[in-house]
Chains A and B, each alone.
Chain A
Amino acid sequence: MATTLIVTEKPDAALHVAEALSPERKPRKVNVGGVPFFEVKSKEERILVCSALGHLYAVGAKGNESRSEYPVWDFSWKPKHFVERGQNRQEKWIQSISKVSKEADRFINACDYDIEGSLIGYTILKYACHGADQKAQRMKFSTLTVKELREAYEKPLPQLDFSLAYAGMCRHEVDWLYGINLSRALTQSALKFSNRYSTLSTGRVQGPTLRFVVEREGEIESFVPSPYWVLRTTLDVDGKAILAEYEIERIEAKAQAEETIRDCAGKTGVIEKLESRTYRLTPPTPFDLSALQSEAYRHFGFTPRVALGIAEHLYLDQLISYPRTSSQKLPPSIGYEEVLKGLNQIEAYRSETARLLTSRALFPHEGRKDDPAHPAVYPTGNVPKRDLDPRERKIIDLVVRRFLATFGDTATKQSDKATIKVGKHSFFLRGSRIIEKGWISLYGPYTRFEEIMLPPLVEGQEVKVSEVALEEKYSQPPPRYNPSSLLKAMEEVEIGTKATRADIVETLYQRGYVRGEKMEATPLASTVTGLLTKYCPKVIDVKFTRELESMMEQIELGKQTREHVVLETVDYLKPIIEDLRLKEDEIGRELTATIKEMKRAEITFIVPCPKCGETLMVLRSKKSGKRFIGCSGKWKTNCTFALPLPQFGALTLLDKRCPECGFQMIQVRAGGRRPIISCPNCYVNKLKAPRPAREVTVKPPISE
């Protein structure tokens, strides 16, 4: 009997593949060396389905070089547990897959159909399955539904998608060369100068991305606002007060604004013109990953990484299609009607789906972007088999409603405008309303249209200016990036991939380069970006990163070789790294100064000591080792001011004052718990305050 070994990317996917291929949907779970495999047996064949744990192999330095050495140019693909710490499960997985592969005659890569999935499957088949990559086949699917998995198994691609796997390998190798050499140059420079270790990193995409945030911070810090004036005008229309717009949105001279007030206050105007226009609002396009991440951030505040994580869970639960897609297209092969019928089983979507199913032929309103590997994100129509958590419910509802909306009719909006002449000045009244809801009713809570109804008006009608006031305003600095807008900026300049962008944004937080939801660049980010700009500007140049990205895309198309791109990268990086090595002292001095400044800022309060006016800091008692707020004036003025602090959890001094006493607030985050925000001063005052007398109830003694 022939044995087929199918490699999937994650354990859940392995189970779904095995279930789909098992006639009774009940594959047998087999344990090989502590690793689960799923077995499906028929008369003709035995199928074994195993899963990876993401990547089982990674790029590592050739030989046993120390983790601090640089430059490093020689590398090879190694089991991940040899390269990264804490990857012990991977070792067991490789051993078990390797053992089982010896029994197999046929091999199939059923990892997700994209660069990473192709690479994960390729490395397992090549290294763990003893060169089986050369004879392996490829299953291609976009949902984990039984129908699609069976079709993918029955009609696999005859060989692996080598160009995709090589493009993936190249991406990992180039990123490794960049990351390892540049990050080690920074970390070692700081270490040599200060003798203290701090993890500092940069990368091919991380560097240019951080530069966006740092440059924006610079624009905000050097911003000088300009004044302008706005007229707040209220008109009396048949006894009803309505706010009107002045013809000049921003008046740049105060005198001109005051003159307009003198001309108009208390005067009567005439409606000179009434205009109405109708606009067609076309339905939204289906979700590609970035649009899904952007909407999830806008409506629920989920960061791109969180949104992707939830979407991946929903994919593994067979509820939505593969989310890592760039496509805005929904081909008929996904079976529109079948999906709608499935969704019709869910109470919340019954009326909308019934309307679509009976209305007319179904045509989605597609966007321009396409992805050869997957369609846009769409619901499978399956009913959830388990209780979804609130966050999953939000994302699935968003995906379903977006899918429905793309099949909706065009909506129609009417805009009304009345022009009122008061002497030589013009004011406008504006209204808007939806005439035909179309797709808006399908997208439900995710569309926001404010309807403003104007009262009945006629041309020539007189209206009185009942109030006109002047408001002094100032131009605003550019907004800080948030995780969603930064991801969009990366996408616009085409750096990173849909699979990596969200992780890169998250890394900026982990490395201490940015803080806050509105991403504020830290001094360390400015220093690192400043040093890279000074010594190797090309490393953080978007154009250069984009060129590399395009070379790697050529590998996917079979027009470029992986070896060529890697050699180009080494040739380019070598002189830069050698130069950085010569300037270690200078770089180390800069980095150390900033790290010290940041560490000091992290433990220094903005509010001065209420007793002596000196600086308050987080200190540790030499005797007990306990942390507390102490006054640095102790050595100058003998000040003994001190406040207790919570002893457990990560402490952050917030840029926020206590509304009761004005002291600086703190946040304590202990593992797995919600952060607690409190005022250390009020905490002590409450402890000192006399407690209200309590009523004491004396219980009668319990009789024996």
Chain B
Amino acid sequence: MADRCLLCERLREPESELCGLHNAALHNLENTYSSWNKAFGGSLTKEDYYTKLEELSETGRAVKDLIQHLRGKRH
């Protein structure tokens, strides 16, 4: 349905394709990449970053949904 988030059944936020939760996950995912890249000496690709996050139990469920979605978009 048009008013639903791309990744779940929640209502999407105004001017966004995502709901509040997935938008928060996207915001955190984008903002944390630079600290990961710095931690690994500037050689960490986004793909490696996503792979690492998917493996970790600390990573939130909404973040994992988002990574799958972003991967699907690329392929």
Of the residues A225, A254, A530, A597, contact of B58 by C-beta under 8 Å: A225
Q: Which residues of A contact B53 (CB under 8 A)?
A: 224-225
Of the residues B10, B38, B61, B62, contact of A530 by C-beta under 8 Å: B10
CB B11 to nearest CB in A, in angstroms, measures 7
Output the nearest chain A residue to B40 by Cβ-Cβ distance: A254
Q: Which residues of B contact A255 (CB under 8 A)?
A: 41
A253–B39 touching, CB < 8 Å = yes
B10–A223 touching, CB < 8 Å = no
Q: Which residues of B contact A218 (CB under 8 A)?
A: 20-21, 24
A590–B11 touching, CB < 8 Å = yes
Comparing A132-140, A173-181, A305-313, A474-482, the segment that makes contact with chain B is A474-482
B59–A530 touching, CB < 8 Å = no
Given A218-B21, A221-B25: A475 and B58 within 8 A (CB)? yes
What is the bound-complex CA distance between A593 and B9, given in angstroms?
8
Q: Which residues of B contact A446 (CB under 8 A)?
A: none
Is residue A624 within 8 Å, beta carbon to beta carbon, of the partner chain? no
Of the residues B21, B24, B39, B59, contact of A254 by C-beta under 8 Å: B39
Of the residues B9, B39, B63, contact of A228 by C-beta under 8 Å: B39
A224–B63 touching, CB < 8 Å = yes
CB B66 to nearest CB in A, in angstroms, measures 9
Chain B 33-68 interface residues, beta-carbon cutoff 8 Å to A = 35-36, 38-41, 53, 56, 58-63
Q: Which residues of B contact A253 (CB under 8 A)?
A: 38-39, 41
Q: Which residues of B contact A222 (CB under 8 A)?
A: 21-22, 24-25, 27-28, 60, 62-63
Q: Which residues of B contact A594 (CB under 8 A)?
A: 9
A252–B60 touching, CB < 8 Å = no
Given A253-B38, A254-B40, A593-B9: A221 and B60 within 8 A (CB)? yes
Output the nearest chain B residue to A477 by Cβ-Cβ distance: B58
B39–A224 touching, CB < 8 Å = no
B39–A227 touching, CB < 8 Å = yes
Q: Which residues of A contact B22 (CB under 8 A)?
A: 222
Q: Which residues of B contact A606 (CB under 8 A)?
A: none
What is the bound-complex CA distance between A593 and B3, given in angstroms?
14
What is the bound-complex CA distance between A225 and B33, given in angstroms?
10
Chain A 469-500 interface residues, beta-carbon cutoff 8 Å to B = 474-477
A226–B21 touching, CB < 8 Å = no
Q: Which residues of A contact B6 (CB under 8 A)?
A: none
Chain A 580-629 interface residues, beta-carbon cutoff 8 Å to B = 590, 593-594, 597
A224–B60 touching, CB < 8 Å = yes
B36–A226 touching, CB < 8 Å = yes
Of the residues B20, B35, B59, contact of A223 by C-beta under 8 Å: B59
Q: Which residues of A contact B62 (CB under 8 A)?
A: 221-222
Output the nearest chain A residue to B25 by Cβ-Cβ distance: A222
Q: Which residues of B contact A534 (CB under 8 A)?
A: 11
Output the nearest chain A residue to B58 by Cβ-Cβ distance: A225
Is residue A274 within 8 Å, beta carbon to beta carbon, of the partner chain? no
Q: Which residues of A contact B36 (CB under 8 A)?
A: 226-227
What is the bound-complex CA distance between A254 and B41, given in angstroms?
7
Is residue A220 within 8 Å, beta carbon to beta carbon, of the partner chain? yes
What is the bound-complex CA distance between A594 and B61, given in angstroms?
18
B61–A221 touching, CB < 8 Å = yes
CB A228 to nearest CB in B, in angstroms, measures 7
Given A477-B58, A593-B9: A226 and B25 within 8 A (CB)? no
Q: Can you list the 10 inter-chain pairs with the closest CB atoms, starting with the nearest?
A: A222-B25, A225-B58, A222-B24, A223-B60, A224-B28, A221-B60, A224-B32, A221-B62, A221-B61, A222-B62
**Sampled A-B contacts (19; CB under 8 Å):** A218-B20, A221-B21, A221-B25, A221-B61, A222-B24, A222-B27, A222-B62, A223-B28, A224-B28, A226-B32, A226-B36, A227-B39, A255-B41, A474-B56, A474-B58, A476-B58, A477-B58, A530-B11, A593-B9
Apart from A226-B32, A252-B38, what 4 extra A-B contacts exist at CB < 8 Å?
Answer: A218-B21, A222-B27, A474-B56, A476-B58
